[in-house]
Structure 1
């Protein structure tokens, strides 16, 4: 078994160093990332696992009341969570990690555990040891989302060949019309487009405030960029990208002006983003999920497939103690 400790502020530095060198660590696992949240938003209960007095794994987590049950959950302030581990994780240590987590949760009077695993392509070295170990210790799937994933081709020509013919034609149309793509700092302008689009389509606001987005950009200036589509100087669409690790980028927010849809700005935007990814040696582009609580939005899924994307699981497991 492992020695299990609740994270203290004194250990934020070693935690982040461990994440940066881990097999499946991303910016979403860094304490630096969690610092953008107000202190009273979550009850943080992140955990460290030690083997022979050396940090072996970290688990970003929080306490959450669900249906009057006190659960230890993957940190709600991040897209993904679960155990961050090295490339050399063995099946034996995977079992011991899960056993240690369950024992810790019981000792600390939790009624259950819920955790969301990163998609498999977030790993440097693919492994399903954690998934397998969770299932063997009584965890069950509580949710299986699908995230749209594009594996970046080796040259520009191959990137466009992955597009459906209609989308490839739309790229050329946008170029001919004069739609321009560039990385921009006009974040507030994009946010207003995003806010209006979400209001029209879903009657909701963005998950993040404009202030929070600016704070994230300040925290990770080299890992966040905004690609904008412009027509006659006006922003008509944009994609806010997070480089979550060296070779994986995520579309954090995607939006366009409804009245500019006929200009096909998103088609040329993503073509430009994929070429940027190729240049930056990014191997995988994550479009994000097109399911909500396991139910697919077929239109959104089809939209992403038109660029050559396919679906990969993003799984959430739970156990009652």
Structure 2
């Protein structure tokens, strides 16, 4: 018998263990990552059990009294599932989940898709479920991704800049502290170019690194011992993702970023399936200058979609479920 309820703090260990062994998740769904910004988001995560065993989890937060989202404070969302779950059973889980939310007078879910290339095994059952539910597509973006096992060559400019950086003696190092990069490169650049600040404060990124030291990594480029460029990488099982990328004027002119990413792509993360440069959108508008820069490294597009799901549409799944499951649920 499937049981659905809201997440409780006492579920933390079971949740985190489940995230580690599911087929469509990364460390971003761990509670220590989600809860670092709990002051910004009113958590509305949901757990699904079968015979007291956790079989699905929805990382989510409230938008208003009738709307939740999965999860706008993260790079992606999803309904997290066990590796061995099959299509019809997943449709049943979605059915019970939406019925539960409807009983709480939640009428709508803003649902971010999980990025397909992060999956450990095929996991598009939820996407098929969205189709059956007549979910409405309300946002489509792209992320720029390099297939590390079948790479497209860099452009001539990227290779030339990398060689220039090598000739100048620029060094790339992994560091365990974020102060230098945040204070000398990232914050000044974002302030000057966009009048903005990093999503994570220095204190927050340090706290997250302390919780996930193997997943959150900082790489800096130096000239004569002075930092001139850097990048913060979120590493998961199959993917290395660029969370922050920035260089000062000397870093841009010297080819420091070209050397930095060449080393990450060709050496540090060459064993991964993908290198994810993330999106190139400013306020939902494509930044083609940024996109073109990523594509010169051989990155190409994956689409990432956000849907609106009406919880009342759970009934549309009834014809796709085993008869006995529907009867138990009524």
Distance (whole Å) between structure 2 residues aligned to residue 195 and residue 293 of structure 1? 19
Tell me the TM-score normalised to structure 2 length.
Answer: 0.88
Q: How does 1:218-229 map to 2 (within 5 A)?
A: 218-229=210-221
Any runs of at least 4 consecutive aligned residues in structure 1 with deviations exceeding 6 A, and if so which?
A: none
> Paired residue for 1:242?
234
Distance 1:134 1:89 in 2: 17
- The structural deviation recorded for 1:75 is 2.9
1:109 to 102, 105, 119: 105
Question: For 2:169 and 2:179, how far apart are their aligned partners in 1?
Answer: 23
Equivalent position to 1:269, from 260, 266, 279:
260
- Corresponding position of 2:48: 49
Question: 8 Å contact 1:25–1:84 — kept in the other structure?
Answer: yes
1:267 alignment partner, SS class? helix
The RMSD of aligned alpha carbons is 1.8
Q: How does 1:64-143 map to 2 (within 5 A)?
A: 64-65=63-64, 70-143=66-139
Deviation of 1:49 after TM superposition, in Å, equals 1.2
Write the distance in 2 (CA, Å) between the matches of 1:277 and 1:168: 19
Contact between 1:99 and 1:137, CA under 8 Å: does it hold in 2? Answer: no
Matches within 5 A, 1:293-304: 294-304=284-294
**Residue in structure 2 matching 1:285, options 272, 275, 292:** 275
Tell me the secondary structure at the aligned position of residue 303 of structure 2: strand
**One of 290, 308, 316 as aligned partner of 2:306:** 316
Q: Which moved more, 1:161-170 or 1:225-234?
A: 161-170
- C-alpha distance in structure 1 between counterparts of 2:103 and 2:29, whole Å: 25
Secondary structure of 1:36 counterpart: helix
CA offset digits 1:109-154 (Å, max 9, x no partner): 1231111111101101123211121121121111111111112138
Matches within 5 A, 1:158-173: 162-173=153-164
Q: Which residue of 2 aligns with 1:209?
A: 201
1:5 Cα deviation from its structure 2 partner: 1.3
Question: TM-score when scaled to structure 1?
Answer: 0.91
Asked if 2 retains the 8 angstrom alpha-carbon contact of 1:49 and 1:55, the reply is yes
Aligned match of 1:252 in 236, 243, 260?
243
1:293 Cα offset (Å): 5.8
Over 3 Å counting, the alpha-carbon distance change for 1:41 and 1:2 in structure 2 is same
Deviation, structure 1 residue 188: 1.2
1:199-233, Cα deviation, whole Å (9 max, x unpaired): 12211111111110110111111211111010111
Say whether the 8 Å CA contact 2:111–2:309 is kept in structure 1. no
Q: Residues of 2 paired with 1:296 and 1:126: CA distance?
A: 29
Contact kept in structure 1, 2:42 and 2:61, CA below 8 Å: yes
Aligned residues: 309
Structure 1 8/112 Cα, relative in aligned 2: closer, same or farther at 3 Å? same
Q: Does 1:3 align with 2:21?
A: no
Which runs of 5 or more residues in structure 2 are unaligned? Answer: 312-330
Measure how far apart 1:94 and its partner are: 2.7
Cα contact 2:251–2:257 (8 A) shared by 1: no
For the residues of structure 2 that align with 1:106 and 1:186, how far apart are their CA atoms?
46
- Structure 1 runs not aligned, ≥5 long: none
Moved more, 262-271 or 110-119: 110-119
The structure having more radius of gyration, on CA atoms, is 2
